[in-house]
Amino acid sequence: MARYLGIEVTESQLKGAVLKTAYKKLMLEAVYTVNRPPGPEGLQAATRDLGSLVQALLASTTPGTQPAELDGIYASLPGQESSIRSIALPRAVWKRGEKALLAELEGAVPFDVDDAVVDAQPTAPGDPVPLLAVAAIRERVKGYLDAMTLGGLEPREIGVSPMVLGELAAEIPELAVPGPVLLVYSQDMRAEVAVLRGGVTVFARTVTALTTPAARARAMRQSVAAWAAEGIPVERAYLCGAEANWSHQAVLEATQLPVEMVMALPSGAIQLGPLAGETAFWEAPIPVALAARGLGRSKRVDLRKGALAVSGSAQVLRERAPYLAAAALAMVGFWGAASWARYQGLVTERTRLQQTLRAVTQEVYGEPVEDPTRATAMARGDSHRDDVDPMPRADAFDVLGVLSQRINDTVRHDVEQLDIRGEHVQLQGVVSTLADRDKVVEWLGGYPCFPEVRPGRVTTTPGDNRQKYTLDIEFRCPGARTAGARTTGTGGTGGSNQGGRSGGGA
């Protein structure tokens, strides 16, 4: 929840509005009107009186002993203190900022632009960019700013009343329609006039000395004609202010609108608090629009430029310090919770991997191991322990190599069937004579991993009278396996590993 104060400055009074904001909610808590004596001293005294009223409101609505502070203060100058002009600049020139505006407004405002502070806001998309530019004498703006600062209420931004009036479209949907909408705020024998299209102010002016019906009719007629010369006729009009009823007939005559299209300004999304009167918003729309600047929703005219700007944004930081601290604390809390959850997930994953490692090492090495470094060393054979190599001493490829290498090519030998199962090899072959079979038995018996070669039944093949025989071979390597490199030799029918896997291990 945040509170913002908007202050409308006129020649005779200060009008302030306190707006409380919450999630999707705007509440006008109170509106105060303070008479302003003439001169800077009078403005300073009026600002001090307004500050006392606002502090009393904050103290009465804040639980505890420490009253809440305002989250932002925004003020506006009377419209007659500025010059408002419609201009258009190429987008590249518009991006250059204040210097481009000063060059464009030179000779178009009734004072020297070198002594002015200027700002502008776009009124429509496009290139060149259509702008509504505002210029005010820097010393006059500085005088208002200094007096309000000495009075205890330093505004973060300074707008211009007729331009600020159009900012209500951000909170009032009825003002954000596509067609031109006339908005008239009548108060203290003057009127702030704004025309909006699509919720953007495209025309603004201040008219004064509205002391008679004829003066009001003439002022409205001139204002509407000035807009009609630049755009299309207005489609509807909204009136507000304590003297709105006096301007009703003048607006009807100037716009030629039906009676039902000239209406009182609705409050839109702005709710009235218990301390605000029923007509509080209707009588003080400009302070409310200024207070709504705290929401920061769109580009708006601000005369605190250059030397008048908030130095180093120190005031903004001071105003936002409690919220920044709360946000930082929340971020640290969420970071801590996320880190703890991540840590617990990693601990669970580590436990699962350790259990898997224990099961695998128990199955392979006969010993459960949790240390991954030691398990890696054991797998590489670098554990400096008498571990059993899980690799077989010799395999089927070694058997094929022995057959191809040890059976001499002087003997005609054909293999019809070879069955290798664990530690048993069964060979069915065909040779020319029984003596050749005995030579094969002798040659294979010389392989260390064949400790026993038993000849089986012999039959004679029909047709060529060759001898078909069977051998049952015990396949078991003696001794320990060495780390010798695999060598390839040539035999009568293929290649093999000399001596199988170099002896293997028991």
Average pLDDT over residues 200-220: 93
pLDDT at 317 over 80: no
Place of tokens 């009823």: 245
Question: How much of the chain, in percent, has pLDDT values that exceed 70?
Answer: 89
Helix, strand, coil percentages (3-state) for the chain, rounded to 5, are: 40, 25, 35
Question: pLDDT category, 64, cuts 50, 70, 90?
Answer: low
Provide the b/e sequence for 25-44 (b: ≥16 CB within 10 Å): ebbbbbbbbbebeeeeeebb
Enter the pTM of the model: 0.63
pLDDT digits (tens, 9 = 90+) for 171-188: 999 999 998 999 999 998
pLDDT for 497 equals 34
Ordered domains of the chain (ranges, CATH): 329-380 (no CATH), 396-497 (3.30.1360.100)
Q: What is the mean pLDDT of residues 78-97?
A: 89
Average pLDDT of the residues in 447-452: 88
pLDDT over 80 (residue 77): yes
Please return the burial class of 448, using the count of CB atoms within 10 Å of its CB with bins 0-12, 13-18 and 19+.
middle
**Does residue 365 have a pLDDT over 50?**
yes
Q: From residue 129, how far is each of 97, 106, 325, 441, 506 by CA, in Å?
A: 13, 18, 40, 103, 92
pLDDT tens, 369-421? 888 888 888 888 765 555 556 666 778 888 888 888 888 888 888 899 999 88
pLDDT score for 70: 87
pLDDT band at 32 (very low <50, low <70, confident <90, very high): very high
Residue 136 has pLDDT above 80, yes or no: yes
